[in-house]
Amino acid sequence: MEPMIRLQGLTKRYGSFTAVDAIDLEVPRGQIVGFLGPNGAGKTTTLRMIAGILRPTGGTVTIGGIDIAEQPAAAKALMGFIPDRPFIYEKLTGAEFLRFVAGLYGQAGEAVEFRMDELLALFDLSEWKEELVESYSHGMRQKLIISSAFLHRPQVIVVDEPMVGLDPKAARILKDLFREYVERGNTIMMSTHTLEVAETLCDRIAIIQGGRIRAAGTMTELNATVQAGAKGLEELFLRLTGDNAAREVVQVLDV
Amino acid sequence: MSEEQPRPRESASERELVAPRRGTVRTAVRKALGQERRRKPRPVGVPSPGYRDLMRPKLLTVRSRMLKGEAAHGWRWTLVALIGLLFWAFVLGIGVRFLMALRAVPEIGSLLAAKLLGMAFISFFMILLLSNIITSLSTFFLARDLDLLISAPVDPLTVYAAKLTESLAHSSWMVSMMAIPIFGAYGWVYGGGWRTAIAAMAVWLPFIVIPAVLGAAATNLLVTAFPARRTRDILSLVAVVSAAGLVLVFRLLRPEKLVRPEGVRSLVDFIALLRTPSSPYLPSEWAARGVMGWLGGSFDWLPFYLLWTSAAAAVVFGAMIHGRYYSAAFTKAQESAERWVRASAWRTWMSNLLKPLGVLRRELVLKELRVFFRDPTQWSQLILIAVLVVVYVINIKYLPLSGNGITRRLVNIVPWLNLGLAGFVLASIAARFIFPAVSMEGRTLWLLRSSPLPMRQLLWAKFWTGTIPLLVLAVGIVGVTDALMQVTPFVFVTSILSVTLITFAVAGMALGLGTVFPQYETENAAQIPTSFGGLVFMIASTGLVGIVVVLEARPMLLYANSILLGTPMDTRDLVFGFGMAALCCLAATFIPLAVALRRLEATEL
């Protein structure tokens, strides 16, 4: 079965700096794949290439079997993207923003209005529907963007740091939403630094460091790759990505 | 307690603190925090960062920008410098010629020159005051470094001094650049030589400090008084309406009448009028008196004394206001406002009107309109433009197109020159509204790029939402001015067609060059037209308007001759002149848009 997302030799260079180095990765349909890595590892760059925001220097991205470079509109129509920083039009109301996003996917009318109300109610934003986005808090903006990503019923959601800025209730709702969503045959690829979220939510994990995939698979498969048998994702993550941090902490506190 | 002893699985925090498991991070953290390494807290002196510490990041940023610009875009700086020098030379040339002519007038020449300098200073003062009010809001209340500065142990007076310097620099550099050739012209004509520079500096420095302090104080008080986040909107509106009023009042006063004193009863009265200071308590008057006294050989310390002591007193007064109100105002500026937008008949009507465009285009156009009309910093500029258009039309109305020496030929050529001026006005408006359109999407481009929206559609929406109002304005200006000048139907039709094509070309170039030279990081749309790309656009659009005017010169002249002298008109001249002008306009419309589309599709953020 064709994976929902397939990355082949995906590379991104900025001058002499290689941010993403010939990545090969497959995201199967109906699964949540967690994309982990230290800061500056190349997670956001990879996700932005998948979303069609950045053009790869080399390699291909296919969404549902469609090459995003060759048929960008068809590939993007299958996808919803949630960025890590919630920049949206400050002078639109929440409802207007959602209608605008629906319009970008060619959708309008009663069905959109109904879906919009559902999503806003889910995230406790109904009362803020007619208020300008400029008065929303960081978390409310994040919730609005998450709602917009689900609005056009995409087959795959690509999400960068979904939990940042969310209150515990919204975080819980989002986790439930993600699980329900994949149980209906859809797919999610998400980057996160919250290892607890990745451990409990993701079917598969891919760990990236220095622009290269260090390990990918289920938790069991990943444990098998780390010979000493790490306990938990945190330790596994640290072993794979190095423990320099420990030395640095000691040095900082000793000064 | 042994490090290796296993612990029951209690809470996560307890596990972390009491019995860390294997793993170098936890061990290292425990060691670092552990008993064996615990030390007595070291005495910490109270640091007091000074003015120079606060200014250093700003200076380093400027230096880094300039070095980066020098390495990557040396030609940009060269071009900007060249244009700046040309501008200076132009203003200096005009100023010198004008002052020479005034100086030749016996008795009243110098008095007129002094009066005009006073008027220039009062204009500068008003512009500086408005500019400082607007800038202070950003530097004192909205700047990104404020959280850091306010939370750091910095003396509030040091913050005041640093922020005041920042406001002053941002608000005054452009006016200072404008003042240099004016001082130069006065020095040249009145034989001041290099010493004029000393007098100019001695006058100019305190002169720009006073409006900076007043602007900062006014903003501080306004933020204290008005609902928090509405202040920016209110200030923008106040500033634009004041500027518009200033332009209108200045125009209605008709300062050119000063050099045509027909209305004054006698020469003695006129001299008395010129000698009387119009505003003895304003720094602009002191500045003018200081400079003219220095240049005229009757040096007087008083204006310099007044300027410097007033500037010093203003800084003290400003610091007191800052100390008293800033803390409360800053807190208030952080609060968010409730901004409800209710459904209106207009919105429904507009939505229905745009239905034929389809879902995607309708939503794009609606978004453009909403974002524009809900942002007072954007729409308030319309007031200024309306005033400028009124002033323009009034000037055309008062053109002396009848009487001795005015021929019918001239009457039919003036509309053609009018086309050039109208083209320049359109270019200035496009620079303000269409040029920043793509840059303003910078922070939200992720949304557009990750959706199936073709970038062609985005450009389409931005082009038409900018071009249609511009076209209405262009046809309105040219139509009304042509009607006022009572031109022939031929001239009327050709000038309307020409200005229509010029409008499309100017809009195409504004959108195209705005995409090629984007300012995605700039949050304030008003700053985008003053960027390098904005300069390139103004040069390109002025060039295009010039080319169209030159290409249409011959057919217009031939037409005027055919009416007056009855000489036959060669239609080939008409077709060539107007045809080439039309081709140039069409090329200037489509080529920049095509380049913009490619650039937008390749844009990475």
> What's the pLDDT tens digit per position in B461-480?
999 999 999 999 999 988 98
Classify A109 as helix, strand or coil. coil
Percent over 70 (pLDDT), chain A: 92
- Contact between A34 and A217 under an 8 Å Cβ cutoff? The reply is no
Average pLDDT over residues A42-66: 93
**Per-residue pLDDT, B274:** 59
Domain that holds residue A225: 1-78+157-166+189-255
Interface pTM, i.e. ipTM: 0.86
pLDDT band at B29 (very low <50, low <70, confident <90, very high): very low
Written as six digits, the tokens of A181 are 């969503």
Residues B152 and B220 in one domain: yes
Would you say residue B174 has pLDDT above 70?
A: yes
Within an 8 Å CB–CB cutoff, is residue B557 touching chain A?
no
Residues B217, B219, B222, CA angle at the centre, nearest 5°? 110
Range ranked top by mean pLDDT from B222-226, B429-433, B556-560: B429-433
Q: Tell me the pLDDT tens digit for each residue of A131-188.
A: 889 889 889 999 999 999 999 999 999 999 888 888 899 899 999 999 999 999 999 9
* Residue A84, domain member (yes or no): no
Radius of gyration of chain B (CA): 31
* Residue A131, domain member (yes or no): no
* Residue A212, domain member (yes or no): yes
Q: How many domains does chain B have?
A: 3
Residue of A nearest to B343 (CA): A130
* Residue A239, domain member (yes or no): yes
**Residues in B touching A253 (Cβ below 8 Å):** 32-33, 37
pLDDT band at B223 (very low <50, low <70, confident <90, very high): confident
Q: How many domains does chain A have?
A: 1
Q: B115 or A189: which carries more pLDDT confidence?
A: A189
Would you say residue B79 has pLDDT above 50?
A: yes
Q: Is the dihedral of CA B519, B524, B527, B529 positive or negative?
A: positive
**Per-residue pLDDT, A102:** 94
Percent over 70 (pLDDT), chain B: 78
Pairing verdict, β A79-82 and A156-160 = parallel
Contact A87 B364 (CB under 8 A): no
Restricting to A residues 30-69, those with a Cβ less than 8 Å away from any Cβ of B are 48, 51-55
* Residue A115, domain member (yes or no): no
Q: B396 or B337: which carries more pLDDT confidence?
A: B396
Instruction: Say which of B25, B33, B375 has its CB closest to residue A238.
Output: B25
Among candidates A41, A25, A22, which has minimal Cα distance to A33? Answer: A25
Would you say residue B173 has pLDDT above 60?
A: yes
Restricting to B residues 312-351, those with a Cβ less than 8 Å away from any Cβ of A are 336-343
Among candidates A56, A70, A87, which has minimal Cα distance to A160? Answer: A87
Q: Can you list the alpha helix ranges (DSSP code H) found in B73-194?
A: 74-103, 109-136, 146-151, 156-189
Residues B492 and B557 in one domain: yes
Q: Which residues pair with A26 in a beta bridge?
A: A6
* Residue A177, domain member (yes or no): no
Q: Residue B247: count other Cβ atoms within 10 Å of its Cβ.
A: 15
Among candidates A151, A159, A158, A201, which has minimal Cα distance to A180? Answer: A201
pLDDT band at B587 (very low <50, low <70, confident <90, very high): very high
Would you say residue B39 has pLDDT above 70?
A: no
* Residue B500, domain member (yes or no): yes
Instruction: Say which of B31, B363, B454 has its CB closest to residue A100.
Output: B363
**Number of A:B CB contacts under 8 A?**
123
| Average pLDDT over chain A, rounded to an integer | 88
- Return the minimum-mean-pLDDT range out of A180-194, B172-186, B501-515, B587-601: B172-186
Q: What residues contact B589, with CB distance under 8 A and at least 6 apart? A: B504, B505, B507, B508, B509
Average pLDDT over residues A120-140: 91
**Per-residue pLDDT, B257:** 56
Written as six digits, the tokens of A80 are 């919803």
- Contact between A3 and A60 under an 8 Å Cβ cutoff? The reply is no
* Residue B318, domain member (yes or no): yes
- Contact between B216 and B136 under an 8 Å Cβ cutoff? The reply is yes
Contact A235 B364 (CB under 8 A): no
Strand order in the sheet with A156-160: A79-82, A156-160, A187-191, A32-36, A204-209, A212-217
Instruction: State which of B306, B334, B362 marks the end of a domain.
Output: B334
Instruction: Give dist(CA A184, CA A1) in Å, integer.
Output: 17
Would you say residue A29 has pLDDT above 90?
A: yes
Instruction: Give dist(CA B258, CA B261) in Å, integer.
Output: 6
**Per-residue pLDDT, B282:** 84
Would you say residue B57 has pLDDT above 80?
A: yes
- Return the minimum-mean-pLDDT range out of A3-17, A221-235, B139-153, B276-290: A221-235
Would you say residue B58 has pLDDT above 90?
A: no
Q: Tell me the pLDDT tens digit for each residue of A6-20.
A: 999 999 998 889 999
* Residue B425, domain member (yes or no): yes
* Residue A151, domain member (yes or no): no
Residues B388 and B527 in one domain: yes
Instruction: Give dist(CA B560, CA B494) in Å, integer.
Output: 13
Q: A180 to chain B, minimum CA–CA distance in Å?
A: 24
- Contact between A157 and A79 under an 8 Å Cβ cutoff? The reply is yes
* Residue B225, domain member (yes or no): yes
Residues B316 and B172 in one domain: yes
Q: A166 to chain B, minimum CA–CA distance in Å?
A: 19
Residues B193 and B300 in one domain: yes
Q: What residues contact A143, with CB distance under 8 A and at least 6 apart? A: A123, A124, A125, A166, A170
pTM score, two decimals?
A: 0.76
- Contact between A10 and A23 under an 8 Å Cβ cutoff? The reply is yes
- Contact between A172 and A124 under an 8 Å Cβ cutoff? The reply is no
pLDDT band at B2 (very low <50, low <70, confident <90, very high): very low
Q: Residue A7: count other Cβ atoms within 10 Å of its Cβ.
A: 25
* Residue B143, domain member (yes or no): yes
Instruction: Say which of A55, A91, A100 has its CB closest to residue B604.
Output: A55
Instruction: Give dist(CA B204, CA B287) in Å, integer.
Output: 8
Residues B526 and B481 in one domain: yes
**Helix A244-254 and helix B24-33, axial crossing angle in degrees, nearest 10:** 10
CA distances from B268 to A251, B103, B230, B253, B296 (A): 86, 18, 53, 22, 21
**Residues in B touching A104 (Cβ below 8 Å):** 360, 363, 447-448, 451-453
Radius of gyration of chain A (CA): 19
Task: Return the residue matching tokens 């036959």.
Answer: B568
Residue of A nearest to B338 (CA): A135
Instruction: Say which of A74, A88, A131 has its CB closest to residue B339.
Output: A131
Would you say residue B506 has pLDDT above 90?
A: yes
**Residues in A touching B366 (Cβ below 8 Å):** 96, 100
End-to-end CA distance of chain B: 53
For position A57, which CATH number holds? 3.40.50.300
**Per-residue pLDDT, B399:** 66
Contact B340 A245 (CB under 8 A): no
**Per-residue pLDDT, B266:** 59
**Per-residue pLDDT, B8:** 40
Domain that holds residue B519: 353-397+408-602
Contact B23 A130 (CB under 8 A): no
Restricting to A residues 96-125, those with a Cβ less than 8 Å away from any Cβ of B are 96, 99-108
* Residue B85, domain member (yes or no): no
Instruction: Give dist(CA B58, CA B64) in Å, integer.
Output: 10
pLDDT band at B20 (very low <50, low <70, confident <90, very high): very low
**Per-residue pLDDT, B580:** 93
Instruction: Give dist(CA B237, CA B234) in Å, integer.
Output: 5
Would you say residue B402 has pLDDT above 70?
A: no
* Residue B218, domain member (yes or no): yes
Range ranked top by mean pLDDT from B33-37, B178-182, B311-315: B311-315
- Contact between B465 and B365 under an 8 Å Cβ cutoff? The reply is yes
Percent over 90 (pLDDT), chain B: 23
Q: Tell me the pLDDT tens digit for each residue of B364-378.
A: 999 998 888 887 777
Q: Can you list the alpha helix ranges (DSSP code H) found in chain A?
A: 43-50, 72-77, 94-104, 110-122, 138-151, 168-183, 195-201, 219-225, 232-241, 244-254
Q: How many helices (H) and strands (E) does chain A have?
A: 10, 10
Instruction: Give dist(CA B140, CA B33) in Å, integer.
Output: 40
Q: Tell me the pLDDT tens digit for each residue of B179-208.
A: 899 889 988 888 777 778 888 899 999 999
* Residue A37, domain member (yes or no): yes
pLDDT band at A253 (very low <50, low <70, confident <90, very high): low
Instruction: Give dist(CA A68, CA A86) in Å, integer.
Output: 24
Residue of B nearest to A91 (CA): B371
Instruction: Please tell me what DSSP assigns to residue B105.
Output: S
**Per-residue pLDDT, B272:** 62
* Residue B150, domain member (yes or no): yes
Q: B450 to chain A, minimum CA–CA distance in Å?
A: 5
